[in-house]
Structure formats: structure tokens, C-alpha cells
Amino acid sequence: MSAHFSFDESLEAKLVAELNDTATRAAGRPTEIDMMIFEFQSNEIQKAITDIAKSNPNVTFRVIADSTPSVADRRQRAPGDPQGEAAPTCR
């Protein structure tokens, strides 16, 4: 298991390498790969997951993603756009 958080570098190559290493170490045994991400925007990661899933039927992927717009994104939308309203504030 590993966790990576970075705004300074691309973690795409690291993630693809870890996915491939996990599938290789599984050696045909049932294996689960769980991922939590904010947004999924990488063709390379998508290709790696698809290729691994096709060639390793015992590998199961579970991905939790949150691609809802941030509050800043919502404020930048056109007036009248229902998604442009600011998010409720919790106190």
C-alpha cells in the first residue's frame, strides 16, 4: 500500500508502475487494487488499468472518485447556471 499527494510533480508514471508491479506480484492470485482519487484525467492510467484488467482476470479494481467541481470552479461559472451557485457553508 502507498499514498501519494503532490502538486509539484506528475505521479502518473509512479502509479502506472505500481499498478503493473502489483499485477506482476499477484502472479495469477486474486488481488484487489483500491484507489481513491479526486479526478481521473490520465489516458495512461486508464490504459494501464484496462490492460491489467484484460490480461489479469483475477485482479479486481475499485476506484472511488470525486470529480465534483470545487467551490472556486462553481463561482467562476456564468450567472444563472445552477452549478455556479456557491456551495453551502458548514459551521
Beta carbons of 16 and 44 less than 8 angstroms apart = yes
Half-sphere exposure of 18 (CA within 13 A, CB side): 13
User: For position 88, what pLDDT does the model report?
Assistant: 41
The CA-based angle 63-66-72, given to 5 degrees, is 160
Spell out, as residue ranges, where the chain has pLDDT lower than 50.
Answer: 76, 78-79, 81, 84-91
Indicate the DSSP class of residue 3.
-
User: Count of residues for the chain?
Assistant: 91
Tell if the pTM clears 0.75, that is, is over it: no
User: For position 22, what pLDDT does the model report?
Assistant: 92
Helix (H) or strand (E) holding 60: strand 59-65
